[in-house]
């Protein structure tokens, strides 16, 4: 209840932070442009003829969808938390009568409008000009894109919160953030469609699908670019929802255990 | 000159001591290296699983580019990146004053003031990958090509360093740039692919605007014996130009430094 009342204020603070540190914000945005590079790579490969079943246009649709989803769902809360723990800023956050999970969450969500302003028009224009017939026309899927992206955001936030809370035990936890990003790049379909990976590394693809990573990227892209039967759509959404709940609970659990280790560095 | 060498020695000792303090990082770093090499090789495996050659590159040759990518990445992450992160932090909190006061070149102080010794694991991984790819090719490189490949490896590292320094210098204008390393990392990510794989505008950009081709593709071509003398000389010339330009940017930037401490 208290959190709800503070929400508009927290939101305004988040917006102000984004504007105040706009250069840093822009840099974070630019780090999520890998899909454009992968797009350049795969389309030039496919220009010699379709790669497996993927044509040049399919790759355009896939990676631009990836760009949109990534822009809207990525967050860097783990890095923020490492800094807060290392510099002792966390003490201040703990004194506030709002769970840091909500506070961090709102501050990240407040950056979303800015990200869509920058990223979405570019991607939509490109998508419309060169890949529109590779998009889905199924109304159910179009309706479920937004919930799917919200679930992807929650999974990403829950995992990042859990990683950030590891900072309670390890002072130099940046390496763990690196491991997370490596796994994400490897297993989420960030560098290539998971279908392509399946033909060469079937075991790895099975492993990938049993982790939360595809739910963060590959699933929304799939909803956006493939026509799927209703049962498959619902199965994918259910999988995302399960991971979202799991990752949030994980984040909160790691946080609760870690808090007991908090040594309030600095002060 | 001896003073600079002494400084490097001292800083190496300090960094080694700091690294030994966080021994858990050794295991994490080792695992990360494995994951990192797997990550780098995976798209290559998929690509060459469907095609025997892409833009004139076959699998073993593309592996050499990957090895260069991992190697340059290791050196830069081990020597340059940590120092530049420190630089950005020091500009923000004003500690950069003390760097300027020291009786050595400030660019030297910010370029190599802290090391990540564990990155040597990555470098060993890169060397292993080169050996493996030449094993796949069936013949070792000729001594001349090997020498050219090693010289251009150094050139590739310097090219990357110039780009990093030029970007870090922007911290003098926009104060908060903590995440610069991640941006540079994602630009550098392009270097894992032979530049010929990209077409049209992209190839032009990656050769001349953000010259990632100088960092890995051309050095790898030299080691493979595919580079003409002209290309080798042009690469070295390009890298020297980058060093001069980044030095100039650094000097202009440093003139803009308004201490944050007082």
Interface contact B46-A196, CB threshold 8 A: yes
Contacts of A28 in chain B (CB under 8 A): 179, 182
B216 min Cα distance to partner chain A (Å): 16
**Which letter, b or e, does each residue of B23-58 get, where b requires 16 or more Cβ atoms within 10 Å of its Cβ?**
eebeebbeebbebbbebbbbbbebbbeebeebbebe
pTM over 0.80: no
| Closest residue in B to A189 (Cα–Cα) | B43
pLDDT tens digit string along A223-240? 888 888 888 888 999 999
B1, containing H or E segment = none
Nearest to A192 among B35, B43, B180 (CB): B43
Q: Residue A69: which pLDDT band, with cuts at 50, 70 and 90? A: confident
Nearest to B49 among A79, A171, A200 (CB): A200
Write a three-state SS string for chain A: CHHHHHHHHHHHHHHHHHHHCHHHHHHHHHCCCHHHHHHHHHHHHHCCCCECCECHHHHHHHHHHHHHHHHHHCCCHHHHHHHHHHHCCHHHHHHCCCCHHHHHHHHHHCCHHHHHHHHHHHHHHHHHHHCHHHCCCCHHHHHHHHHHHHHHHHHHHHHHHHHHHHCCCCCCCHHHHHHHHHHHHHHCCCCCCHHHHHHHCHHHHHHHHCCCHHHHCHHHHHHHHCCCCHHHHHHHHHHHHHHHHHHHHHHHHHHHHHHCCCCCCCC
Q: Which pLDDT belongs to residue A23?
A: 67
What dihedral do alpha carbons B140, B145, B147, B152 form, nearest 10°?
-120
The Cα A79–Cα B214 span in angstroms is 32
- What is the arithmetic mean of pLDDT over B161-179? 75
pLDDT tens digit string along B144-155? 888 888 888 888
The Cα B235–Cα B207 span in angstroms is 10
B1 min Cα distance to partner chain A (Å): 34
Contacts of B39 in chain A (CB under 8 A): 182, 185-186
The Cα A53–Cα A50 span in angstroms is 6
Three-state DSSP class for residue B92: helix
* Strand partners for B58: B53
Q: Which pLDDT belongs to residue A264?
A: 61
Q: Which pLDDT belongs to residue A171?
A: 66
B18 touches chain A (CB under 8 A): no
How many Cβ contacts (< 8 angstroms) between chains A and B? 95
Interface contact B199-A37, CB threshold 8 A: no
Question: The complex's ipTM?
Answer: 0.71
pLDDT at B73 over 50: yes
B142 min Cα distance to partner chain A (Å): 31
pLDDT at A242 over 90: yes
Contacts of A34 in chain B (CB under 8 A): 186, 189
User: Packing angle between helix A112-130 and helix A22-30, nearest 10 degrees?
Assistant: 40
Contacts of A74 in chain B (CB under 8 A): none
pLDDT tens digit string along A78-97? 888 887 877 777 777 777 77
pLDDT tens digit string along A207-221? 888 899 999 999 998
B175 and B197 Cβ atoms separated by less than 8 Å: no
From chain B residues 137-176, the ones with a CB under 8 A of any chain A CB are: 174, 176
pLDDT tens digit string along A18-35? 777 666 667 666 666 778
What dihedral do alpha carbons A85, A87, A88, A93 form, nearest 10°?
-70
Three-state DSSP class for residue B33: helix
């Amino acid at each position: 209840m208290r959190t709800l009342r503070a929400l508009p204020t927290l939101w305004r603070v988040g917006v102000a932070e984004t504007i105040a540190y706009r250069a840093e914000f822009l840099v974070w945005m630019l780090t999520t442009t890998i899909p454009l590079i992968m797009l350049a790579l795969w389309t030039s490969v496919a220009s010699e003829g379709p790669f497996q079943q993927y044509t040049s246009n399919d790759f355009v649709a896939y990676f631009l969808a990836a760009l949109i989803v990534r822009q809207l769902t990525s967050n860097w809360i783990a890095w923020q938390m490492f800094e807060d723990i290392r510099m002792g800023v966390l003490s201040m956050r703990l004194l506030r009568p709002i769970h840091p999970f909500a506070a961090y969450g709102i501050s990240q969500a407040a950056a979303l409008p800015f990200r869509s302003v920058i990223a979405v028009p570019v991607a939509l224009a490109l998508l419309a000009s060169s890949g529109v017939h590779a998009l889905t026309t199924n109304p159910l899927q179009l309706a479920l894109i937004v919930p799917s992206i919200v679930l992807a955001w929650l999974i990403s936030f829950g995992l990042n919160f859990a990683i950030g809370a590891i900072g309670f035990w390890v002072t130099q936890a940046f390496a763990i953030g690196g491991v997370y990003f490596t796994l994400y790049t490897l297993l989420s379909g960030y560098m290539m469609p998971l279908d392509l990976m399946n033909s060469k590394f079937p075991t790895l693809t099975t492993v990938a699908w049993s982790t939360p990573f595809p739910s963060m990227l590959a699933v929304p892209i799939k909803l956006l670019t493939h026509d799927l039967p209703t049962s498959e759509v619902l199965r994918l959404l259910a999988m995302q929802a399960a991971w979202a709940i799991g990752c949030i609970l994980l984040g909160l659990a790691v946080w609760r255990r870690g808090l007991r280790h908090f040594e309030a560095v600095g002060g | 000159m001896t003073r600079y060498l002494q400084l490097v020695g001292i800083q190496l000792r300090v960094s080694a001591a700091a690294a030994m303090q966080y021994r858990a990082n050794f295991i994490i770093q080792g695992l990360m290296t494995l994951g990192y090499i797997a990550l780098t090789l995976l798209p290559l495996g998929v690509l060459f699983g469907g095609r025997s050659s892409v833009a004139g590159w076959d699998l073993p040759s593309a592996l050499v580019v990957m090895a260069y990518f991992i190697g340059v990445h290791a050196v830069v992450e081990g020597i340059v990146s940590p120092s530049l992160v420190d630089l950005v932090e020091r500009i923000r909190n004003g500690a950069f004053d003390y760097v300027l006061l020291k009786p050595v070149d400030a660019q030297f102080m910010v370029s190599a003031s802290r090391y990540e010794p564990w990155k040597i694991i990555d470098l060993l991984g890169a060397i292993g990958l080169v050996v493996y790819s030449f094993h796949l090719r069936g013949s070792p490189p000729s001594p001349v090509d090997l020498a050219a490949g090693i010289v251009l490896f150094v050139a590739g590292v310097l090219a990357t360093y110039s780009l990093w320094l030029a970007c870090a210098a922007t911290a003098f204008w926009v104060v908060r740039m903590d995440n610069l390393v991640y941006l540079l990392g994602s630009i550098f990510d392009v270097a894992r692919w032979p530049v010929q794989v990209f077409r049209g505008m992209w190839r032009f950009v990656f050769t001349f605007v953000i010259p990632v081709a100088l960092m890995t593709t051309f050095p790898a071509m030299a080691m493979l014996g595919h580079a003409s003398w002209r290309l080798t000389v042009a690469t070295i010339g390009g890298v020297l130009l980058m060093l001069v330009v980044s030095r100039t940017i650094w000097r202009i930037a440093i003139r803009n430094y308004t201490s944050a401490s007082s």
